[in-house]
């Protein structure tokens, strides 16, 4: 491969195809190879500029190259990069202190750092099983928990299961997917049956003593499926009655993303026993974290090493990212700008029959595309065409959902009003193009 500046997107993509596992899938018919980013903007190797409304899968939480985070990381890299968890370091405790301040767990809690969301979820599941001395887990259909064997078993999305479930004792409850209610019911007259059914699930498909209920407040990869307001009180209440803990996966929903609160679960008024974080925690640097009530965390007495977990560089990036988030009042900002974005997406639904549903919270919004509003037949080809049409207009959006027909929109949270308005104008044009 040429090392000159004249390298093309196509050249990088061809090399990737030759050298990487095919499971490393990329967006777009002609994949884009990025080389530079600033705020909500990205530039590819050919010098083309894009507006990024997916933020590296909700991970560049503040924006590309956020100067305060970059400076702190540069200083840290020059000072110390790695010592392993065999030594206490102040960067890791600083990150833990910040996390405890924003966590939805009240009271004393403890953290364990890793390098990814999969590891954070895996750690939470192991700890819940160690603490409760039982091993069954209730997860949700349409959920995504990661690529490791335990996390993959939790994941209920066939596309991301390279192997059949490898961990016995995991059962999957119906998702609170109101647009495609598994019972064909309508909220609120449904009585939140998807949550109530967990009682029967526990009694029929487990020993009656589950270790935990594991759920995302908004099912991210599932297509930003947004549960109704009562869902978590009912679901968690049932599992707790049977002695189980509640593990809340805030990997996508954390850090103010859902607007108004630091965590997605706070919209539902339920306190988790364990919480997992990753993605947006360090504005793009690799970091995962599992938080647990101290009494639960203290049960994890076996040795467990994550060599890179909470390393000085990622921990500095995380602590600085969270400090900047606090200074910038990110939850309030995501609420205000999210309302602006949502208003425009609702208008798209009024205008284009192709839009079956608009859902989400804060700066985490999705539109689900259907062939027909009555049959709700999923329209994955239209979602791909929409994404390509946005790309031609230099706007990057995400895709998702079990049927591949959901467009996910989640810009870095320091996005401004003008960028939101421009992105919405582009989405309107793209929708008109694919509706024609
Ligand atoms: C909700 C959720 N949990 C866990 C993960 C796994 O995170 P990672 O890819 O960092 O392992 C993801 C990744 O998309 C996720 O969306």
Find out whether the beta carbon of 221 lies less than 6 Å from any atom of ligand 1.
yes
Q: How far is the CA of 251 from the centre of ligand 1 (A)?
A: 6
Q: How far is the CA of 368 from the centre of ligand 1 (A)?
A: 21
Nearest CA to ligand 1 atom 8: 117
Average pLDDT along the chain: 97
Candidates 294, 261, 243; CA nearest to 105 is 294
Extract the tokens encoding 217. 């407040």
Residue 116 has a pLDDT of 98
Does residue 3 surpass a pLDDT of 50? no
Find out whether the beta carbon of 66 lies less than 6 Å from any atom of ligand 1.
no
Q: How far is the CA of 220 from the centre of ligand 1 (A)?
A: 9
Query: Best mutation site among 124, 146, 156 for ligand 1, i.e. most ligand atoms within 8 A of its Cβ?
Result: 146
Q: How far is the CA of 34 from the centre of ligand 1 (A)?
A: 22
Q: How far is the CA of 8 from the centre of ligand 1 (A)?
A: 30
Mean pLDDT of 376-381: 98
- Can you tell me the distance from the alpha carbon of 385 to that of 377, in angstroms, rounded to the nearest whole number? 16
Name, in order, each residue with C-beta under 8 angstroms of 274's C-beta and a sequence gap of 6 or more: 105, 124, 127, 128, 212, 245, 246, 247, 248, 290, 291, 292, 293, 296
Q: What confidence tier does 2 reach under pLDDT thresholds 50, 70, 90?
A: very low
Find out whether the beta carbon of 58 lies less than 6 Å from any atom of ligand 1.
no
Residue 248 has a pLDDT of 99
- Can you tell me the distance from the alpha carbon of 281 to that of 260, in angstroms, rounded to the nearest whole number? 17
Fold designation for 69-327: 3.40.640
Query: Best mutation site among 216, 251, 284, 408 for ligand 1, i.e. most ligand atoms within 8 A of its Cβ?
Result: 251
- Can you tell me the distance from the alpha carbon of 197 to that of 140, in angstroms, rounded to the nearest whole number? 12
Find out whether the beta carbon of 118 lies less than 6 Å from any atom of ligand 1.
yes
Say if residue 258 is exposed, middle or buried (CB neighbours under 10 Å; 0-12, 13-18, 19+): buried
Percent of the chain beyond pLDDT 90?
98
- Name the residue ranges covered by the structural domains of the chain: 9-62+331-435, 69-327
Does residue 4 surpass a pLDDT of 60? no
Find out whether the beta carbon of 116 lies less than 6 Å from any atom of ligand 1.
yes
Does residue 153 surpass a pLDDT of 90? yes
Q: How far is the CA of 278 from the centre of ligand 1 (A)?
A: 7
Q: Which residues pair with 249 in a beta bridge?
A: 276
Q: How far is the CA of 277 from the centre of ligand 1 (A)?
A: 9
Maximal C-alpha separation, the chain? 64
Mean pLDDT of 101-122: 98
Q: How far is the CA of 247 from the centre of ligand 1 (A)?
A: 14
Mean pLDDT of 95-117: 98
Find out whether the beta carbon of 121 lies less than 6 Å from any atom of ligand 1.
yes
Q: Which one of 3.90.1150.10, 3.40.640.10, 3.40.50.720, 3.30.70.20 gives the CATH number of domain 9-62+331-435?
A: 3.90.1150.10
- Can you tell me the distance from the alpha carbon of 332 to that of 174, in angstroms, rounded to the nearest whole number? 32
What phi and psi values does residue 430 have, to the nearest 5 degrees? Answer: -65, -40
Q: What confidence tier does 300 reach under pLDDT thresholds 50, 70, 90?
A: very high
Q: How far is the CA of 189 from the centre of ligand 1 (A)?
A: 33
Find out whether the beta carbon of 254 lies less than 6 Å from any atom of ligand 1.
no
Contacts for 420-426: CB closer than 8 Å, 24+ residues apart: 420/337, 420/340, 420/341, 420/344, 421/340, 421/344, 422/51, 423/51, 423/53, 423/341, 423/395, 424/341, 424/344, 424/345, 424/348, 426/51, 426/390, 426/393, 426/394, 426/395
Is the fold of 9-62+331-435 the same as that of 69-327? no
Q: How far is the CA of 75 from the centre of ligand 1 (A)?
A: 29
Find out whether the beta carbon of 198 lies less than 6 Å from any atom of ligand 1.
no
Q: What confidence tier does 407 reach under pLDDT thresholds 50, 70, 90?
A: very high
- Can you tell me the distance from the alpha carbon of 210 to that of 171, in angstroms, rounded to the nearest whole number? 10
- Can you tell me the distance from the alpha carbon of 175 to that of 108, in angstroms, rounded to the nearest whole number? 31
- Can you tell me the distance from the alpha carbon of 82 to that of 308, in angstroms, rounded to the nearest whole number? 8
Q: What is the pLDDT of residues 165-199, one digit of tens each?
A: 999 999 999 999 999 999 999 999 999 999 999 99
Q: How far is the CA of 55 from the centre of ligand 1 (A)?
A: 14
Query: Best mutation site among 61, 278, 408 for ligand 1, i.e. most ligand atoms within 8 A of its Cβ?
Result: 278
Q: What confidence tier does 6 reach under pLDDT thresholds 50, 70, 90?
A: confident
Mean pLDDT of 357-384: 98
More confident residue, 6 or 287: 287
Query: How far is the CA of 373 from the CAs of 28, 242, 324, 415, in angstroms?
Result: 26, 40, 43, 32
Mean pLDDT of 260-271: 98
Atom of ligand 1 nearest to the CA of 253: 1
Find out whether the beta carbon of 266 lies less than 6 Å from any atom of ligand 1.
no
What phi and psi values does residue 137 have, to the nearest 5 degrees? Answer: -130, 140
Decide: 359 and 225 in contact? Cβ < 8 Å.
yes
Q: What confidence tier does 5 reach under pLDDT thresholds 50, 70, 90?
A: low
Mean pLDDT of 28-55: 98
Find out whether the beta carbon of 310 lies less than 6 Å from any atom of ligand 1.
no
């Amino acid at each position: 491969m040429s090392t000159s500046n004249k390298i093309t997107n196509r050249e990088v993509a061809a090399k990737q195809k030759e050298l990487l596992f095919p499971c490393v899938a990329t967006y777009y018919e002609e994949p884009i190879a990025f080389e530079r980013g600033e705020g909500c903007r990205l530039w590819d190797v050919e010098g083309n500029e894009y507006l990024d409304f997916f933020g590296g899968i909700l991970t560049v939480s503040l924006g590309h190259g956020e100067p305060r985070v970059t400076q702190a990381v540069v200083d840290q890299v020059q000072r110390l990069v790695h010592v392993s968890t065999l030594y206490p370091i102040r960067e890791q405790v600083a990150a833990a202190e910040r996390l405890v301040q924003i966590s939805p767990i009240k009271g004393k809690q403890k953290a364990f750092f890793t390098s990814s969301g999969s590891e954070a979820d895996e750690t939470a599941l192991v700890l819940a099983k160690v603490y409760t001395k039982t091993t069954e887990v209730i997860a949700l259909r349409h959920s995504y928990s990661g690529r490791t064997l335990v996390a993959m078993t939790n994941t209920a999305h066939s596309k991301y299961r390279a192997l059949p479930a490898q961990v016995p004792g995991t059962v999957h409850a119906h998702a609170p997917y109101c647009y495609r209610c598994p019972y064909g019911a309508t909220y609120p007259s449904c009585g939140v049956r998807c949550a109530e059914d967990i009682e029967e699930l526990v009694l029929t498909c487990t020993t009656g003593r589950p270790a935990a209920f594991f759920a995302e407040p908004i099912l991210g990869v599932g297509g930003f499926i947004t549960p109704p307001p009562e869902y978590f009180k009912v679901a968690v209440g049932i599992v707790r009655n049977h002695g189980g803990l509640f593990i809340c996966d805030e990997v996508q929903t954390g850090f103010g993303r859902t607007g108004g609160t630091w965590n997605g679960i706070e919209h539902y008024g339920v306190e988790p026993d364990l919480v997992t974080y990753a993605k947006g925690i360090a504005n793009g640097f690799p970091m995962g974290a599992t938080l647990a009530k101290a009494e639960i965390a203290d049960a994890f007495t076996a040795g467990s090493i994550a060599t890179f977990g909470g390393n000085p560089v990622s921990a500095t990036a995380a602590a600085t990212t969270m400090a900047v988030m606090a200074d910038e009042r990110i939850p309030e900002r995501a609420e205000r700008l999210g309302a602006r974005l949502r208003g425009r997406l609702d208008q798209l639904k009024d205008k284009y029959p192709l839009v079956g549903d608009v859902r989400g919270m804060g700066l985490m919004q999705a539109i689900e595309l259907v062939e027909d509003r009555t049959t709700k037949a999923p329209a994955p080809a239209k979602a791909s065409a929409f994404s390509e049409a946005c790309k031609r207009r230099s706007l990057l959006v995400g895709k998702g959902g079990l049927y591949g027909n959901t467009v996910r929109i989640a810009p870095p949270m320091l996005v401004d009003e003008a960028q939101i308005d421009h992105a919405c104008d582009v989405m309107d044009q793209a929708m008109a193009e694919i509706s024609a």
